[in-house]
Amino acid sequence: MSKANRIFIAILIGIVLIGLGVYFYVGKFSSPTNFPLVKEHEIVELRDGQSYDITASFVINEINGQRVKMLAYNGSIPGPLIKVPQEAEITINFKNDADVDSTIHSHGIRAENKFDGVPDVTQKPVKPGESFTYKLKFPDAGVYWYHPHVREDYAQELGLYGNFIVTPNEKDYWAEVDREEAIFLDDILMLDGQIAQFNKDIVDHTLMGRFGNVMLVNGRDDYKLDIKQGERVRFYVTNSANTRVFNFSIPNTRMKLVGGDNGKYEREEWVESVILGPSERAVVEIWFEENGEYQIVHKTPDKTYEMGIIAVAEQPVTVSYLLIPRENQDFIDSLNSIRSLFGKPADRALNLTIDMMGGMTSQEGGHMMPDGSMMSNSMMMGDSDEKIEWEDEMGMMNAMSTNKTLKWKLVDGESRKENMDIDWEFKKGDKVKLKLFNDPESDHPMQHPIHIHGQRFLVVKTNGVQNQNLVWKDTVLVQKGDTVELLVDMDNPGDWLVHCHIPEHMESGMMSEFKVI
């Protein structure tokens, strides 16, 4: 059978499966008035010792002119922006009014282990109608976010995400600005005017993750921010997409990169754009000297997406600012005691790969899918030399792949144990050199955003090249074929996860557990 015929049969079978109603359709429902309209998210400033209630529930949002059912925290997408002082401790009272089990994972926060929000590791899942109380302490300044850790492919995709901004104790930690804005970059997959289907029992799109075809900023496809001419704005930018990597920019401005996942860089620097993998954050500052409209842009090698508008209203500008990138000597000095560890051999290693376990390898060098269609090695590997897959290159093959037909893997470089069979143990205070290798010869090599719970790390080398501008992080985008070396500060006791933050990959096995004692 020719390759073209195989692809045709695969597409035909996929259409039949959809027609038979294998999936439940979350976007289509009979009575849209049963749920409230989504509202603008509120900004909540909490002090040490205060409590706040968060509820996950359904709302109606409008995307591409169509009303669709989505999920929201406290009725908004994104959820409330929670600002807390560094070192404060607050209480979050969470109630789950969604239709799936849930938790709240406070992403990047080095919180107490029992409040990390990982089902069956740190807590029991919060079932629909149930509640759970989280006590969170915030040791580090920066921008963080919260989201579920149960069926993220569904619940996070439909709108369950929000930011924490931790204001620093040091008055001049960041440069002076006139205003701060937090924005989420996201996408969502729409078919026939509704949100594409999900399956309650299995996870689909597991080969590449679920790419969207509608770009969103703060849950909107028509995002607009109004500011005044002459204002200096600090943007806290978070990628909440399931799998899409964003190349974020605001053309015709001078953009200064000042911070990342867990705080400030050693040196601020001018940048044209910032690449963010799923769950990564960036802090950038821009002075809007001229009035007019500025586009928020995502630019790939093949396409430019206009995601939103910043409208700068004209007003007299009496002060001219010179935005000079700062060198953060205090942060540079704080790393001096561990710089000698940057070049040491790796203590642990993980290889990132895939097992097409759902089918048989054919004599022609391909893999048989469960529906009987064939996926050739060249189709899985792809023909692109790009280190990042910016779009869904597999189409129906990706849509039909599930957590039952393949397994994404983290493989211990020494023991060869895989995923949750890996049994690493460290002591509090250890500085662990971790080497991540993204195997370019696997059946489907692609980038993976690797997230480490409960700890923070420095990306010290990529492909043997020393990183000259460090920032504390909790997620790193490991591109195809790359070897990335991290120095992980094992400072927070407990049982923790390391996993790919593409939820379809995590649901297909790509996570492991480690212990800090």
Provide the pLDDT confidence category of residue 356 given band limits of 50, 70 and 90.
Answer: confident
Indicate whether 152 belongs to any domain.
yes
- Domain housing 292: 179-330
Residues 163 and 275 reside in one and the same domain: no
Please, which pLDDT band fits residue 11 given cuts at 50, 70 and 90? very low
Please state the rounded mean pLDDT for residues 207-234. Answer: 97
65 & 138 share domain: yes
pLDDT one-digit tens code per residue, 167-189: 999 999 999 999 999 999 999 99
Cβ atoms of residues 88 and 129 within 8 Å: no
Q: Are residues 187 and 316 in the same domain?
A: yes
Give yes or no for residue 381 having a pLDDT over 90: no
What is the residue-averaged pLDDT of the chain?
Answer: 90
pLDDT at 149 over 60: yes
Burial of 18 (0-12, 13-18, 19+ CB in 10 A): middle
> Which amino acid is present at 416?
R
Report if residue 67 sits inside a domain: yes
User: Are residues 263 and 346 located together in one domain of the fold?
Assistant: no
Nearest-Å Rg of the Cα atoms of the chain is 23
**Residue 390: inside a domain, yes or no?**
no
pLDDT-derived band at 320, boundaries 50, 70, 90: low
Q: Tell whether the model's pLDDT for residue 490 goes beyond 80.
A: yes
Residues 148 and 60 in one domain: yes
Total domains in the chain come to 3
Regarding whether 157 and 55 lie in a shared domain, the answer is: yes
Q: Indicate the pLDDT class of residue 33, thresholds 50, 70 and 90.
A: low
**What local confidence, expressed as pLDDT, does residue 384 receive?**
56
- Residue at a domain's end among 330, 365, 393: 330
Same domain, 82 and 202: no
Residue-level length of the chain? 517
Q: Are residues 158 and 233 in the same domain?
A: no
Residue 420 has pLDDT above 70, yes or no: yes
Report, as an integer, the average pLDDT of 54-79.
97
Domain membership of residue 305 (yes or no) is yes
CA-to-CA distance for 372 and 391, rounded, in angstroms? 26
Task: State residue 8's pLDDT score.
Answer: 38
Classify residue 66: in a domain, yes or no: yes
| 386: in domain | no
Q: What counts of helices (H) and strands (E) characterise the chain? A: 6, 35
Determine which of 13-22, 353-362, 472-481 has the lowest per-residue pLDDT on average.
Answer: 13-22
Same domain, 465 and 352: yes
Q: What is the pLDDT of residues 450-463, one digit of tens each?
A: 999 999 999 999 99
Q: pTM value?
A: 0.91
Question: Are 151 and 186 found together in one domain?
Answer: no
Comparing 82-86, 110-114, 379-383, 470-474, the range with the smallest average pLDDT is: 379-383
396 part of a folded domain: no
Q: Is the pLDDT of residue 358 over 80?
A: no
Same-domain pairing of 272 and 162: no
The rounded distance, in Å, linking the Cα atoms of 285 and 76 is 26
- The pLDDT of residue 397 is 93
Please tell me the predicted confidence (pLDDT) of residue 502. 98
Buried b (16+ CB within 10 A) or exposed e, 269-290: eeeebbbbbbbbbbbbbbbbbe
> 463: domain CATH number?
2.60.40.420
Instruction: Report the distance separating Cα 192 and Cα 415, nearest Å.
Output: 48
pLDDT band at 126, cuts 50/70/90? very high
Residue 464: count other Cβ atoms within 10 Å of its Cβ: 7
- Of 167, 188, 209, at which residue does a domain stop? 167
222-241 tens-digit pLDDT: 999 999 999 999 999 999 99
pLDDT of residue 28: 38
